[in-house]
């Protein structure tokens, strides 16, 4: 058993280096697929940011064949895909056998298998420090009979590598200048109440800290958001989906 654990650790280390050195996320998902002898691998970042605008435009990289991608897009299967729906709601990894697909989703899965894809899968939700949601999904090869053992053996590897892929995607999208700053819970809380139209005194009473401290949190949030005034800071936080109304 010790030899098997060592072998798995060595495999993870090798794939980790190969993913880091991959030219882009597209090459990296193929590296993950081939390294673990999987059917397919998909990385899905739910929303991307361009400039100061929050845009619901997913960043997806997959090893699925173009024929299936074309069918998936043409028939708008993303609106019924149970893996995506559950993956963007859940915080813990899940096996596809746990899902209860709708009738529309069942039709999608039937066509999915008809296109030659394996019937088993496992998905790992990712939420980073600024609340971005992503999903790494791995799919079995057709005819796989030991999927539960495969998942049990490699799940820790995949969970670690999911975050490596996510970091690579963020760098690919934004380089070293990630447009979403990391704000503290208190900074986000004061921005939220400011967006509700509350002034410093009212926010102080609501969250139970001094008015001076409220001003301090809001000032630091404004600096992190690179805004000239609080109105701009609140508007930018809303656009970046850091707070809601």
- Give the pLDDT confidence of 13-68 residue by residue, as tens digits: 899 999 999 999 999 999 999 999 999 999 999 866 544 444 457 899 999 999 99
The domain segmentation of the chain, as residue ranges, is 2-174, 185-239
In angstroms, the CA 6 to CA 173 distance is 35
Task: Look up the pTM and report it.
Answer: 0.77
In CATH, the architecture of 185-239 is Orthogonal Bundle (1.10)
Query: Is there a contact between 192 and 233 (Cβ–Cβ < 8 Å)?
Result: no
The number of angstroms, rounded, from the C-alpha of 89 to the middle of its chain's C-alpha atoms is 11
Q: What is the mean pLDDT of the chain?
A: 90
> Has residue 114 got a pLDDT over 90?
yes
Domains 2-174 and 185-239 fall in the same CATH topology: no
Q: List beta partners, residue 40.
A: 139
CATH of the domain spanning 2-174, picked from 3.30.450.80, 3.40.50.2300, 2.60.120.10, 3.40.50.1980:
3.30.450.80
């Amino acid at each position: 058993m010790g030899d098997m654990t060592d072998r798995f650790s060595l495999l993870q280390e090798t794939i980790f280096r190969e993913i880091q050195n991959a030219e882009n996320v597209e090459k990296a998902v193929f590296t993950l697929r081939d390294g673990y002898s999987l059917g397919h691998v998909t990385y899905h970042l739910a929303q991307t940011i361009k400039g100061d605008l929050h845009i619901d435009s997913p960043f997806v990289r997959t090893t699925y064949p173009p024929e299936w991608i074309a069918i998936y897009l043409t028939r708008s299967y993303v609106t019924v895909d149970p893996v995506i729906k559950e993956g963007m709601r859940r915080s813990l990894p899940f096996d596809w056998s746990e899902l209860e697909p709708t009738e529309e989703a069942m039709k999608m899965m039937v066509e999915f298998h008809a296109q030659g894809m394996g019937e088993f899968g496992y998905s790992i939700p990712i939420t980073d420090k600024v609340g971005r949601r992503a999903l790494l999904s791995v799919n079995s090869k057709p005819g796989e009979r030991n999927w539960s053992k495969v998942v049990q053996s490699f799940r820790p590897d995949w969970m670690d590598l999911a975050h490596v892929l996510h970091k690579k995607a963020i760098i690919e999208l934004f380089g070293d200048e990630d447009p979403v700053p990391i704000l503290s819970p208190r900074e986000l809380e004061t921005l939220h109440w400011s967006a509700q139209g509350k002034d410093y005194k009212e926010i102080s009473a609501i969250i139970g800290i001094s008015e001076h401290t409220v001003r301090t949190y809001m000032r630091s949030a404004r600096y992190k958001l690179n805004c000239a005034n609080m109105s701009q800071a609140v508007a930018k936080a809303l656009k970046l989906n850091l707070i809601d109304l």
